[in-house]
Structure 1
Amino acid sequence: MTEHVRITHEPGGVCLVQLARPEKKNALTGVMYDAMREALVAADRDGSGIGAVVFAGAEGAFTAGNDIADFVARAERAFGDAPSLRFIRQLAVTRTPMVAAVDGIAVGIGTTLTLHCDLVYVAPAATFRMPFVDLGLVPEAGSSYLLPRRVGLTKATELLLLGEAFGADEAVRLGLANAVVPADALLEHALAQGAKLAAKPRQALAAARALIRGDRDAVAAAMDAEAKAFDAALRSPEAQEAFRRFLARGGAPARAAS
């Protein structure tokens, strides 16, 4: 669907979804969101042969979050049908195990999508950040529900409200990542782990995964509440001013968010 998302079927029943827009630190456009969503939908189809999906970024970056110029251009439309929201909702219902290989910056959705992954591996240079409030917005992808349950209310509040960056070792310490892997071995390791998942008995794996992940309805309810608040925030003078300042600076990727 787009040259900026490379979707390949790797050995062992693994689908690799690789963000490939390095000149923009893999910042996401609506077309890229749609391509990723379609990859997840296709993986879930009966007979697809896909047993795991691996997310990765090209050339030393995972993703800078939304392409703000693209996001602003779409902001006049109903957020309830935004490509980003369709992708987020698909993350929550995807039955196929998901793995993330994170190198470089993982901003906004680059961090929150990993909350839906079953395994997360990070390079030493990986840096996570969720600067939603800084952009006059609110958390998304169910992060207001999932993050406190992963790291505790106190730490989740710090990460979501202050929006400060944290690195690979901290991600592992907090339980947001499984291990730090050398950058030159990261993708190979993630693909190998994905292949291990894909080789498991599919029905048993799906049942175990559903039990581990818990109440899907609660995640969906959190996403709906976030989407309503996000839509209101998106149209606020605060957000419009934050976007204006961001674009005036040239759209530095470290400030982008989902």
Structure 2
Amino acid sequence: MDIETTVADGVLEFTLNRPAKKNALTEAMYLAMLEGFAKAEADDSIGAVLIRAKGDVFSAGNDIGDFISAVQKGHGLAAADFVRKLASFPKPLVAAVNGLAVGVGCTLLLHCDLVYASEAARFSLPFVDLGLPPEAGSSLLLPRRIGMARASAMLLLAETMDAREAKEAGLVNGVVADDELAGVAREKARRLASKPRAALMESRRLLRGDASEISARMEEEFKSFVAALRSPQTQAVFAAFLAKSKQESQ
């Protein structure tokens, strides 16, 4: 399965399990996680969610071929539903980033309460290079998290941030050795799940601020994103990307 789901010690753990494809996210993977989030929200025994990945890449972002196919078929874009759920999910979210985090693989971290990275982690937001605007509320949340100067370098120039820089900027809580990453992230998630639930969730709600502001920005981004997908320039970029991927796989 491309998404492994386990529950232990009050923590629901999603493991991206598509390492041969750099854990690029497909519609099926989004739907699997959406189903897991729905169960976790309804299950009082689950106090936190951990997102991690197998292999040496956290996530290369959306699987472009799968994403384009979903758009062409007129599907409801599970990717958009996924980021909306991240923003509205009431329980703590923890992420363990074990390598490259690209696109939505990076923006999803902005909705996590605690993020831990391996020394090999790198963070990249190449939306503009693909002819796309930001998504997942990143145009609002990233400058708040790391400052306008760093956010502009990532979102406009598509500059990559390494683990050390991410820690200094406040994008991640800590950087740990590769072989310790999963254990550290699980321990933090378990600590969250063990705390008084009502106080934890209310504290989290207050820390996150105005949910309607984040939701409104996400919807504004989504409209711009959909419009960009229809543009000849972006379609040409995607076509070139797919042609290169096909050639490399032969």
Q: Which residue of 2 aligns with 1:100?
A: 95
Higher relative contact order (CA 8 A, sep 6+): 1
Partner of 2:178: 183
Among 240, 243, 246, the residue aligned to 2:241: 246
SS of 2:142's partner is helix
Once the two structures are TM-superposed, the CA of residue 78 in structure 1 deviates from its matched residue by: 4.5
Q: 2:63 aligns with which of 51, 60, 67?
A: 67
Corresponding pairs, count: 248
Spell out structure 1 runs of 4+ moving beyond 3 A.
Answer: none
**1:1-258 map, 5 Å:** 3-10=1-8, 12-47=9-44, 49-78=45-74, 81-250=76-245
1:6–1:220 CA distance, 2 compared to 1 (3 A): same
Describe the shift of the 1:252–1:14 C-alpha distance in structure 2 as closer, same or farther (beyond 3 A): farther
Structure 1 Cα separation of the partners of residues 18 and 247 of structure 2:
15
Q: Deviations over 1:24-59 (max 9, x none)?
A: 010010000111122122111143x11110000101
Q: In the TM superposition, what is the alpha-carbon distance from 1:151 to its structure 2 partner?
A: 1.6
Question: Once superposed, what is the RMSD of the aligned Cα atoms?
Answer: 1.5
Whole-angstrom distance in 2 between the partners of 1:50 and 1:16 = 10
> What TM-score, normalized by structure 2, do the two folds share?
0.96
Whole-angstrom distance in 1 between the partners of 2:128 and 2:115: 25
Q: Secondary structure at the match of 1:62?
A: strand
Instruction: Give the residue type in structure 1 aligned to 2:120.
Output: A
| C-alpha contact 1:68 1:251 (8 A) present in aligned 2 | no
Q: Please give the secondary structure, in 2, of the residue aligned with 1:66.
A: coil
What secondary structure does 1:75 align onto? Answer: helix
Q: Which residue of 2 aligns with 1:256?
A: none
For the residues of structure 1 that align with 2:127 and 2:211, how far apart are their CA atoms? 24
For structure 2, the residue ranges without an aligned partner over 5 or more in a row are: none
Code of the residue aligned with 1:22 in structure 2: it is P
C-alpha displacement at 1:76, in angstroms? 2.0
> Which amino acid is 2:25 matched to?
L
5+ unaligned residues in a row in structure 1: which ranges? 254-258
Give the structure-1-normalised TM-score.
0.93
Does the CA contact (< 8 Å) of 1:91 and 1:116 recur in 2?
Answer: yes
Q: 1:220 to 1:78 in 2, by over 3 A?
A: farther
Identity of aligned residues (%): 49
Question: Deviation string for 1:105-127 (max 9, x for gaps)?
Answer: 10001110000000000000001
Q: Separation in 2 of the partners of 1:97 and 1:252?
A: 42
SS in 2 for 1:122: strand
1:246–1:252 contact (8 Å) kept in structure 2: no
